[in-house]
Amino acid sequence: MAQDFERNFITNIGTTAQDIPDGSDFGSDNTIIGIHMANKTDNAITASCFMTMATNNTGNTGDLFTFTVTVAGGVFVLDGATKPAITLLKGFTYVFDQADASNSGHLLKFKTAAGGSVYTTGVTHTGTPGSAGAKTTIAVASDAPDSLYYYCNAHGDSMGNTIALTNAHYLIKDAPIPANSALQVLDGGAKLVVQNGDRLFFQSSTVTSLDVWVSRVDAIS
């Protein structure tokens, strides 16, 4: 029986979550056999590791927390998908990039439901849709409702769709790591199975403070 052993690593992780594999999903079923998180600073930090599943990723293969928005056929297109229902994680910030010229006159906003009231908690708008730098940002509160709706301020609900808000699947959250020390997330022979479309994220309480090494078995034949 042949086993394909692989490793992934990320350096200088900070307060913005970074994922393994970098900018993409796991492409097949894998068994994670080791997760090593190292604090390389002279001060104590806390670190988190969490998983998103294929159903959270909405087809975008780049930055999970940024959606590239265009308009086609009178509806919003997110990362190439026509007005998809999407899932966002509570406690994280998302950017809806509206710089593409097709966004002109189509400010993306949020409401509590189709036909509901405008939702503004944690929402900021930057620039003019269709111009360089234009974006809508939402910092999803940990106590946000379980669903929202994205829509066009000028043309209504028909341009958008539903948003499911859920909690991240944490393997460990805000774990303390002393200065110049490390933490083994999996120990005692424990293993973690990930499937096609999953992503593994890491985040630190301090900028450029955390290095991570992940060992996995990619395939068995």
- Per-residue pLDDT averaged across 127-137, rounded? 97
The whole-chain average pLDDT of the chain stands at 89
**Strands in 41-190 per DSSP E:** 45-52, 66-72, 75-78, 81-82, 86-89, 93-97, 108-111, 123-126, 135-139, 147-152, 156-166, 169-177, 182-184
Is 60 a residue whose pLDDT tops 50?
A: no
The CATH number of the domain covering residues in 59-166: 2.60.40.420
Convert the pLDDT of each residue in 149-183 to its tens digit. Answer: 999 999 999 999 999 998 888 999 999 999 999 99
How sure is the predictor about 61, in pLDDT bands with cuts at 50, 70 and 90?
A: very low
CATH of domain 3-54+170-220: 2.60.120.340
Domain range annotation of the chain? 3-54+170-220, 59-166
